[in-house]
Structure 1
């Protein structure tokens, strides 16, 4: 219904009232109003007030704003795969992936007094479902699992960089010693070394 209403407004020669949209689409006015509010909130239509001289509230006029409809499906996985394939063709791909992850990890860090807690919070927010045990952090999920299986060198390099970036925000020599991917087929393992934990 939303698409029908938006298409009707886009095809109209002039702004339309709720009643006109309802008549043109054969959709009840209450339903039209509901969708018009949502379309307005999404910035896809503009609401104007009609000139008014008499008693009662002035009529509202709706017109489409040139814009893409944001309600459609997203497929960021394709974009990520395209970018990984492109990056894979560069000679220093893994180093660039680590650097990008490091920058992102540093930006996502809270810089709190507890580097491991900060790291766990960042990893949890990303969807890794981390569990700390001593100097090891078990990553029970990978939010980029399909890409990690197809491009493990690059995807895991980004993960390494994220961990390094978070730890770099803290005044400690705590560092990522290694990141083991797909340990026993059901988790990854980050091993930390040095520093106060």
Structure 2
């Protein structure tokens, strides 16, 4: 379970809005890390925030509650339909895979946590995106593809987005020192519907 999933589980079980301090204690993570993930969850529409406590000088404390997003109310078929349409549109473009890769990189960079170790962060982002990743030494097995139909119809486009997403997370600026990493290979449909990403150091060495 990723940290964002843990935070959502705690919020869904709560009877009242919870502050960052309460949530940090519940999941055993620093408040700065918890606040980063809460901001992402709020932007995605998964949580809501409102001022709590008595008014006073300074910034008001915020209390967070979970709310049911549209993805919780349906099977996501409209998103798969949209993904398929976009993949087909890019497939007709001369540089469709390149544009798909760039879009994935931008998405991964936006979702990266600068305070996290790159590979741990990558697993968290992939988990939140629905890939059910499993880390295996220098590889990450993607046990589920959220857009399997689009991937089968337009693998060059869909897999380019996914590869870009992973590279965007790995390339994101970090607060600590970490070796530069890159996705050296992404094998689609290994062992049925699973995919396998190989992660190496910059320069192509594993």
Q: Deviations over 1:104-137 (max 9, x none)?
A: 0000111234111000000000010101111000
- Residue number in structure 2 paired with 1:181: 188
- Residue number in structure 2 paired with 1:96: 99
Matches of 1:186 and 1:126 in 2, distance apart?
A: 16
Structure 1: 5+ residue stretches without partners: 1-70
- Over the residues paired in the alignment, what is the CA RMSD in angstroms? 2.1
Matches of 1:74 and 1:191 in 2, distance apart?
A: 30
- Residue number in structure 2 paired with 1:154: 157
The alignment partner of 2:146 has SS state of: coil
Matches of 1:79 and 1:157 in 2, distance apart?
A: 17
- Residue number in structure 2 paired with 1:165: 168
- Residue number in structure 1 paired with 2:58: none
Are the counterparts in 1 of residues 133 and 142 from structure 2 also a CA contact under 8 Å? Answer: yes
Change in Cα spacing, 1:116 to 1:96, as seen in structure 2 (3 Å) is same
Q: Deviations over 1:68-103 (max 9, x none)?
A: xxx999712222222211111110000000000000
Q: Deviations over 1:33-82 (max 9, x none)?
A: xxxxxxxxxxxxxxxxxxxxxxxxxxxxxxxxxxxxxx999712222222
Structure 2: 5+ residue stretches without partners: 1-72
Matches of 1:142 and 1:74 in 2, distance apart?
A: 14
- Residue number in structure 1 paired with 2:131: 128
- Residue number in structure 2 paired with 1:78: 81
Task: Normalising by structure 2, report the TM-score.
Answer: 0.57
Pair member with larger Rg: 1
Matches of 1:184 and 1:78 in 2, distance apart?
A: 25
Q: Deviations over 1:138-197 (max 9, x none)?
A: 1100001111111111000000000000001145321110100011214100100116x9
